[in-house]
Chains A and B, each alone.
Chain A
């Protein structure tokens, strides 16, 4: 395990005041905020910042880290001595065990193994019973999975207490059956897979939020599927029947005569299938009339014939 220099992460000196640490964190949190940052590694940097801030903004953790890290360089091989944290009391404010599960192994090694009242505020009292917390995670699926259902392996890092009440971060791998008909934003509940209960109370649930990877052709809104459909001018003008490939199977769609770019055709029930009794979504096709290039003499001749014989001026449309 490599030593992490939290001061370097925040760009402050070891003598920085609490105010300087707060200011440096906020400046960088603004720069690397995943919602707005253009930096490619914004999310990873934000996690690092949060971790460094969780330690350096907490006087007890900072004191322990300073004592332990004396003489270490960033990236240097590091192993904390046993009971290194004796004499320190950690209140664990600011970040919950769930959030701290996102932090590095280095953090988990130092501050994750804090027992009872010294943990992340997760103190345990005798004769105290509480249902375990529900945990939340995202599961990233392909759109096709919503049509067929899928089994996905999900790795989660979550805090666990041992018999002595010491908290450690463990990685669990779950095989989860994703039912047919799921859509983005929907929650799959896995009963009993959340945090363990305290004092014999039942464990919490794991709530998996469904997300789709971007699809090269389709876009999903709920169970509705949107697709841009390029068609030739003669198909638009004369009407036609076109096959449309779906994530699973295909459908024949009638393009009405006189179709125009921007018009939307709705094919009922051909979106994501209904799941657990729900209704299937629709397929929404947005017409896009694409002109063939006038790159050959013959193509130019055809366009010139149309120009001559159709007397068509699109700028006059809708002018009455």
Chain B
């Protein structure tokens, strides 16, 4: 590819990603992801016409849970609990940031 070639990407509709896309992006096994979704550890996963989909928030959650399981040998439920807390923390940080802007 030439250095000055400009690539034009396509926007993924509504930022919903399939299990395979999330798995590839987070370098996890699609079966790992499917198992976790079926166990209810991804509360925002949606089944659209029989296909499981996750938003980009799910992408971050998958990455966090995978690291927790790998680095700390956390059982999936504990990894999900920590991911819940981190998401809560993200939300609070956003709100604090919002208040600072006002």
Give the CA-CA distance A82 to B24 in the complex, in Å.
33
- Assuming the contacts A35-B89, A187-B17, asked whether A207 and B25 have C-beta atoms less than 8 A apart, the reply is yes
Q: How many residues of B contact A (CB 8 A)?
A: 33
| A25, CB-defined interface residue at 8 Å | yes
Most chain A beta-carbon contacts within 10 A, residue among B1, B24, B27, B57: B24
**Which A residues lie within 8 Å of B89 (CB)?**
35-36
Interface 9-mer from A3-11, A62-70, A73-81, A177-185: A177-185
**How many angstroms from the CA of A175 to the CA of B5 in the assembled complex?**
6
Asked if A187 and B70 make an inter-chain contact with CB atoms under 8 angstroms apart, the answer reads: no
CB–CB B72/A26 < 8 A: yes
Bound-state Cα–Cα, A133 to B21, Å: 9
Q: Which residues of chain A come closer than 8 Å to B56, judged between CB atoms?
A: 185-187, 209
Residue numbers in B under 8 Å from A176 (CB-CB): 6-9
B26 CB–A CB distance under 8 Å: yes
Task: Considering the complex, give the chain A residue whose CB is closest to the CB of B56.
Answer: A185
- Measured in the bound complex, the distance between the Cα atoms of B76 and A14 in whole Å is 33
1/0 contact string of B16-30 vs chain A (CB within 8 Å) = 010011001111000
Chain A at the B interface: SS class = mixed
Contacts of B5 in A (CB 8 A): 175
Chain B positions 1-48 with a Cβ under 8 Å from a chain A Cβ: 1, 3-12, 15, 17, 20-21, 24-27
Which residues of A155-189 have CB atoms within 8 Å of chain B's CB atoms? 173-179, 181-182, 185-189
In contact, A186 and B71 (Cβ under 8 angstroms): no
Q: Is A304 interfacial (CB-CB < 8 Å)?
A: no
Do A187 and B6 touch (CB < 8 A)?
no
Q: Determine if A286 is an interface residue (Cβ-Cβ < 8 Å).
A: yes
User: Bound state CA distance, A186 and B9, in angstroms?
Assistant: 12
Assess whether B12 is in contact with A193, with CB atoms less than 8 Å apart. no
Q: How many residues of A contact B (CB 8 A)?
A: 46
B101 touches A219 (CB 8 A): yes
| Residue among B5, B15, B57 with most chain A CB within 10 A | B15
Contact with B along A22-58 (1 / 0, CB 8 A): 0001100100000110000000000000000100000
- Interface: B81 (CB within 8 A): no
Does the CB pair A288–B102 fall under 8 Å?
Answer: yes
A226: chain B residues within 8 A (beta carbon) = 98
- Contact: A136 with B7, CB < 8 Å? no
B93 to chain A, nearest CB (A): 10
Question: Do B59 and A188 touch across chains, with their CB atoms under 8 A apart?
Answer: no
Task: Name the one of B6, B26, B55, B71 contacting A185, with C-beta atoms under 8 angstroms.
Answer: B55
Q: A177 to B7, Cβ gap below 8 A?
A: yes
Choose, from A91-99, A111-119, A248-256, the stretch at the interface: A91-99
Taking a contact as CB atoms under 8 Å apart, the answer to whether A187 and B24 are in contact is no
A94 pairs with B24, CB closer than 8 A: no
Q: Does A191 have its Cβ within 8 Å of any Cβ on chain B?
A: yes
Residues of B within 8 A of A191 (CB): 9-10
Cα distance A35–B60 when bound, in Å? 11
Binding site for B on A (CB under 8 A): 25-26, 29, 35-36, 53, 94, 96, 98-99, 133-136, 151, 173-179, 181-182, 185-191, 193-194, 204, 207-209, 214, 217, 219, 226, 228, 275-276, 286, 288
Question: Residues of B with Cβ closer than 8 Å to A?
Answer: 1, 3-12, 15, 17, 20-21, 24-27, 55-57, 59, 64, 70-72, 86, 89, 97-98, 101-102
Told that A179-B8, A187-B11, A209-B59 touch, could you supply 15 new A-B pairs with CB distance under 8 A?
Answer: A99-B27, A135-B25, A151-B6, A174-B1, A176-B6, A176-B8, A177-B6, A185-B56, A186-B11, A186-B12, A187-B15, A188-B10, A207-B12, A209-B56, A228-B101
* Cβ-closest 3 pairs across A and B: A136-B25, A228-B102, A96-B27
